[in-house]
Structure 1
Amino acid sequence: MTTRTLYRNARIFTADGPALAEALIVDGERLAHVGSEADAREVLGGDAFSETDLGGAFVMPGFVDAHTHMVMMGETMQKVALRDAGNLEEIQLRLKNAVAADPAAPRLLGSGWLFSAIPGGTPTTEMIDAVVPDRPVYLDANDLHSVWVNKAALAEMGIDKDTPNPLGGIIERDPETGEATGLLHETAMHQYAWPTLASLTSDQERDAQLATAFEHYLSTGVTSGIDMALGEDELAAMRRALETDGGTLPLRINAHWLVAPSENHEENLAQVARAAELSREVNTPWLRVVGIKIIADGVIDGCTAAMKEPYSDGSNADLIWAPEYLNPVVAAADAEGLQIAIHAIGDLASEVALDAFEHANSVNGPRDRRHRIEHMETVTPESIARLARLGIVASMQPVHADPAVQENWRAMLGDDRIERAYPWTEFTDAGAVLALGSDAPTAPHPPLPNMYIATTRKSALDPELPANLPKYSLELAAALGHATRDAAFSCRREHELGRLAAGMLADFVVLDTDPFVAGVDSLLTSSVALTVVGGEVKFRA
């Protein structure tokens, strides 16, 4: 007989209505009861059970990070942290200190630098070589859509003045000499930097990176994640972890296979076929391949997002996926029953994504699809209405709206478009499902500060900064629901994840502070006391 556990004396936010419960029963991996303690004891009857008094603590469903990159997150935690480096001198100092700490390291990796910290917003090889000239240096931008490198790294990747720009990518060059200046955007990073570094990374290192991500997620209350850039190396690491843990994982992963852009239709459709094969092959309660990920454009900070109107400097960016290549891929994936997630930050890109979804509907007929658009930092009211009508999930990340990382973002647009940035409530008012995540490691992964930004539009990095368009802030209960219940809906697991109710999986979190009582500012100081996944305690403070 399975031993049941009664968790009592708690304030339980169920994400399943306005009422708070006070007790829950864990029976194996699922919940047998959520409600009053008196009713819980009646359900238990004469059966044997253990009892945990939570001392009036706040309990909620485990967070379902609706957009993350698991292995990359663990890898980034081992890199030199640059997000809070406010200027070039500070960046250079951190690089020098990293070399001093490990003089024998064959190369140096960093992550998180902001364009606003670089003079003129234009990084160069010389800026790195001034302090680290003797080994390759790779520095990921905060948004992970550009990488800044030194001359040794360019040589290691085999990039010179004759190296062509790949489809959808840019190698920044000196306008007079044509030499690469040290900044790779979008698919130039994917096709040169990522494969080079991947070839130098062992399976053991990837396993450790994934374990690091699991550890940090559990300690901050995340019990499920939707991985948005799965490739062969990442999937292999996850499958090794699954085998090592006897068919389970520390938390649940639902993954989207990354489809790289090509002007070869057969090559594109072959990638869809691989994703469909994996969706049938990798389908456990702990690890599932559920769909594909398409990156339709870039980011506003690097002026690579596809906009309907030019940037403040008069430039604009092309789509990474032109419609004549995008539409067949979306239709083919839709026909296979795969969920399709399209990265679209620019308002033009979101229109093109919606066109592709409408094309799939017309080709394959109506049904419940749960397709998604990721980010939508700028989007027209017309696109929001169309998204809601089509039943597309709006997958967004409050942490990207943090005022501390908005200076360059706003400067690149420079007009009234900044007054409708990250318009979360416009989506919910239109009737769309809003799923909240972190996009780690492009942004900090902890969900509680993310919820602070969602409910205040203020900065979790510097709370003294003025709020970023507070008219778009969410009520606390709504924000928590979007990060649990609706995130579970976005990966077709709402029947077992994201809510606390009898029959649901016992994935829940105990916080040391009740934000409904202490106020939303407490989200910046609260911590996780207990994380339970599938009925098992996976983290205890």
Structure 2
Amino acid sequence: MSADKLYVNGSIFTVNKDREWAEAVAVEGNKIVYVGDRAGADAFCDEDTEIYDLDGKMMLPGFIDGHCHPVMAAHVLSQIVFDIDWTLDECLDNIRKYVAEHPDADAYFGLGYAEWLFDEKGPRKELLDDICPDKPMFFLGSGAHEAWGNSKCFEMAGITKDTPDPLPGLHYFSRNEKGEPAGHIVEGRAQAMIMSKINFFDSDSVINIMAENSADYAAMGVTGTVDVGMYSYLEKQYYEALDAIRDSGKYLQRFVGCTCHLDDVDLVDSRIEAIVKAREKYNDDKFRINLFKIINDGTMESRSAALSEPYPEDGSVVKPLMDEKTAAEAGLKAAKEGLDVNMHAIGDVAARSVVAMAKAIREAGYDDCRVTCSHSQYVAPDDIPLFGKYDIIANSTGVWMYGNPLMDKVLGHINNETFRMRSLIDGGARMALGSDFPVDEYGREPLKSIEMCATRKMYGQPDAPVLEPADEKTTVQEAIEGFTINNAYQMHMDDVIGSIEVGKYADFVILEENILDIPLEDIHNVKVIETVMDGVTTYKA
């Protein structure tokens, strides 16, 4: 057997516990055929084998974004993209500028204003009415679990003071003193009542945006993505986009997804049925649908996360979409169909539903079902060891792990008790990392997240405040595993990707420096030299 390419003379970190470092890697076609010392590689070479001199650079398995929304991103990034650091005045100025530059638009859409700019009552429609009173305006917040709309938006959607909230206390419209919608729209079912009535998106641009985003991912060293869902009212557009991007050959990552996520307990059966049907069409190692995603609460910034304590500002208490019993029943239904399960759980009460779901799945004998707790932001101390016991994957996002004193007023002491990844790992859980793109705020680059997992402070800012508890930092190696083998496990593909091993696909990234051997604060600056997916170079610096 002769290899097409042989990689030598670098720091090759395999993420294989049996052999973490190698001197040479040989690739034939799209598969790895040799991993070992330099001398042993000669048996796989002939005069046609290309020798790739790494020249001291680092080679890793390709990064996998274990929590993102690539199809949704292609829709919501089509107009105004807010900078997370903009003040309210800067947000309004940029909206005003965009409207002036696009006077012929029928509607205005955007993503990413900082949700902590406002008090517990949220943003107000009058601020947008002053800019554009005659066309609908709808802007998703930085976490996409709340939105900001103008009066025309509510008018065209037929939402008045007499319109009931879809799920009071979790999916709702903030109201003014007259009981009318005030401009603040919380969670997906409330957002759907507007977005299903007004067309904010140009379908012709979606595929181009998705291809551009995929190319950007390749430049970051990403070879796989876990798509954790689209709004259910855009399900038709989801399939259209996925069909088109697959046919185009312009998606440069492996894609595992769930189609649309669930935010209505009455739709469990129909959503599972839709995923099983989609799996018949998408079920190979490039594109696969096999994930049941539940949105069980909101975000802390939107004050819609399900916490065991009232929010300090107004004493409000938020309940999760699914209690423990309902979550267990839903998870079992999905597991019986051979689906993996992912539950968005920001607050500790929502996370407890994940534990109950996983417990039911394991006790029923579905040991191969991958159960993921998305975000794992605030897990009760008593529940942390249960993640390991019931094989719950603790998904999180490194670029969220920084000290933010602005959230003290929203969360009180809880603001210093979040993202306890050290404890989760020590308790036996697998940490799987993702960006939550397009609601990634400070970037979706894996190297940023790897640095911030290990520092718990804003990348590139050595003097920035540390996110407490400071002793919840991970190691760099654990963060690398979180972007490689652990995400491959979450994708149910750890037998074919996630580490550099013989027989696995040739998915890897080459970095300018060995990130295990440099100061932590320098990791985000390390340059991606080349990305290879399925044996094909998808990016080269």
The TM-score normalised by the length of structure 2 is 0.92
Letter of the 2:435 counterpart: S
Candidates 388, 410, 427, aligned match of 2:408: 410
Cα shift readout 1:136-194 (whole Å, capped 9, x = no counterpart) = 222111111001111122223332222221134111111x2111111111134442244
Cα shift readout 1:452-490 (whole Å, capped 9, x = no counterpart) = 111111113755421112311111111111111111111
CA distance in 1 between counterparts of 2:187 and 2:273 reads 24
Q: Displacement, 1:304?
A: 0.8
CA distance in 1 between counterparts of 2:145 and 2:406 reads 15
**Residue identity (%):** 25
Q: Displacement, 1:242?
A: 1.7
Aligned counterpart, 2:465: 466
Aligned counterpart, 1:28: 29
Letter of the 2:348 counterpart: D
What's the Cα RMSD here?
A: 2.2
CA distance in 2 between counterparts of 1:6 and 1:388 reads 39
Q: Displacement, 1:339?
A: 0.5
CA 99–460 in structure 1, closer or farther in 2 if over 3 Å, else same: farther
Letter of the 2:180 counterpart: E
Secondary structure of 1:22's counterpart equals strand
Secondary structure of 1:139's counterpart equals strand
CA distance in 2 between counterparts of 1:329 and 1:105 reads 42
CA 105–337 in structure 1, closer or farther in 2 if over 3 Å, else same: same
Letter of the 1:449 counterpart: K
CA distance in 2 between counterparts of 1:427 and 1:109 reads 38
Aligned counterpart, 1:318: 319
Letter of the 1:367 counterpart: D
CA 7–35 in structure 1, closer or farther in 2 if over 3 Å, else same: same
CA 161–482 in structure 1, closer or farther in 2 if over 3 Å, else same: same
- Counting matched residue pairs gives 530
Conserved 8 A contact 1:85-1:91: no
Secondary structure of 1:435's counterpart equals strand
Q: Displacement, 1:47?
A: 5.6
CA 494–324 in structure 1, closer or farther in 2 if over 3 Å, else same: closer
Letter of the 1:466 counterpart: P
Letter of the 1:421 counterpart: T
Cα shift readout 1:73-108 (whole Å, capped 9, x = no counterpart) = 234443323233442111111112222333323322
CA 114–121 in structure 1, closer or farther in 2 if over 3 Å, else same: farther
Aligned counterpart, 1:251: 253
CA distance in 1 between counterparts of 2:372 and 2:484 reads 16
Shifted more, 278-287 versus 480-489: the winner is 278-287
Aligned counterpart, 2:104: 104
Aligned counterpart, 1:451: 450
Aligned counterpart, 2:437: 440
Shifted more, 56-65 versus 224-233: the winner is 224-233
Aligned counterpart, 2:353: 352
Secondary structure of 2:55's counterpart equals strand
Conserved 8 A contact 2:306-2:320: yes
Aligned counterpart, 1:141: 141
Q: What pairs up with 1:24-423 in 2 under 5 angstroms?
A: 24-44=25-45, 46=46, 48-118=48-118, 122-167=122-167, 168-174=170-176, 176-196=177-197, 199-230=199-230, 231-245=235-249, 249-262=251-264, 264=266, 267-313=267-313, 314-323=315-324, 325-362=326-363, 364-403=364-403, 406-415=404-413, 417-423=414-420
**What residue ranges of structure 1 are gaps of 5+ in the alignment?**
none
CA distance in 1 between counterparts of 2:498 and 2:293 reads 22
CA distance in 2 between counterparts of 1:526 and 1:462 reads 15
Aligned counterpart, 1:536: 536
Conserved 8 A contact 1:157-1:193: yes
Letter of the 1:40 counterpart: A
CA distance in 2 between counterparts of 1:259 and 1:107 reads 25
CA 525–360 in structure 1, closer or farther in 2 if over 3 Å, else same: closer
CA distance in 2 between counterparts of 1:324 and 1:196 reads 34
CA distance in 1 between counterparts of 2:407 and 2:335 reads 34
Shifted more, 12-21 versus 489-498: the winner is 12-21
Letter of the 2:13 counterpart: F
Q: Displacement, 1:305?
A: 0.9
CA distance in 2 between counterparts of 1:97 and 1:465 reads 32
CA distance in 2 between counterparts of 1:8 and 1:352 reads 48
CA 524–431 in structure 1, closer or farther in 2 if over 3 Å, else same: same
Secondary structure of 2:290's counterpart equals strand
CA distance in 2 between counterparts of 1:356 and 1:25 reads 42
CA distance in 1 between counterparts of 2:72 and 2:460 reads 22
Cα shift readout 1:16-41 (whole Å, capped 9, x = no counterpart) = 24743233212100111223333222
Q: What pairs up with 1:6-17 in 2 under 5 angstroms?
A: 6-17=6-17
Conserved 8 A contact 2:77-2:110: no
Conserved 8 A contact 1:257-1:289: yes
Shifted more, 352-361 versus 531-540: the winner is 352-361
CA 84–461 in structure 1, closer or farther in 2 if over 3 Å, else same: farther
Q: Displacement, 1:55?
A: 2.3
Q: Displacement, 1:207?
A: 1.5
Q: Displacement, 1:65?
A: 0.8
CA 461–188 in structure 1, closer or farther in 2 if over 3 Å, else same: farther
CA distance in 2 between counterparts of 1:261 and 1:82 reads 26
CA 461–184 in structure 1, closer or farther in 2 if over 3 Å, else same: farther
CA distance in 1 between counterparts of 2:281 and 2:104 reads 42
Secondary structure of 2:452's counterpart equals helix
Conserved 8 A contact 1:261-1:321: no
Secondary structure of 2:329's counterpart equals helix
Conserved 8 A contact 1:15-1:61: yes
Aligned counterpart, 1:507: 507
Candidates 404, 424, 427, aligned match of 2:424: 427
CA 360–481 in structure 1, closer or farther in 2 if over 3 Å, else same: closer
CA distance in 1 between counterparts of 2:485 and 2:202 reads 37
Letter of the 2:445 counterpart: P
Letter of the 1:519 counterpart: P
Secondary structure of 1:348's counterpart equals helix
Conserved 8 A contact 1:146-1:189: no
CA distance in 2 between counterparts of 1:464 and 1:151 reads 43
CA distance in 2 between counterparts of 1:259 and 1:221 reads 27
Letter of the 1:256 counterpart: C
CA distance in 2 between counterparts of 1:144 and 1:14 reads 36
CA distance in 2 between counterparts of 1:523 and 1:441 reads 22
Cα shift readout 1:239-294 (whole Å, capped 9, x = no counterpart) = 2222232xx84210111243434454xx4212212212222332011110112000
CA distance in 1 between counterparts of 2:521 and 2:461 reads 13
CA distance in 1 between counterparts of 2:11 and 2:121 reads 48
The TM-score normalised by the length of structure 1 is 0.92
Letter of the 2:425 counterpart: T
CA 128–407 in structure 1, closer or farther in 2 if over 3 Å, else same: farther
Conserved 8 A contact 1:166-1:187: no
Aligned counterpart, 1:5: 5
Letter of the 1:99 counterpart: V
- Structure 1 runs (4+) greater than 6 angstroms displaced: none
CA distance in 2 between counterparts of 1:78 and 1:201 reads 7
Letter of the 1:169 counterpart: H
CA 392–19 in structure 1, closer or farther in 2 if over 3 Å, else same: closer
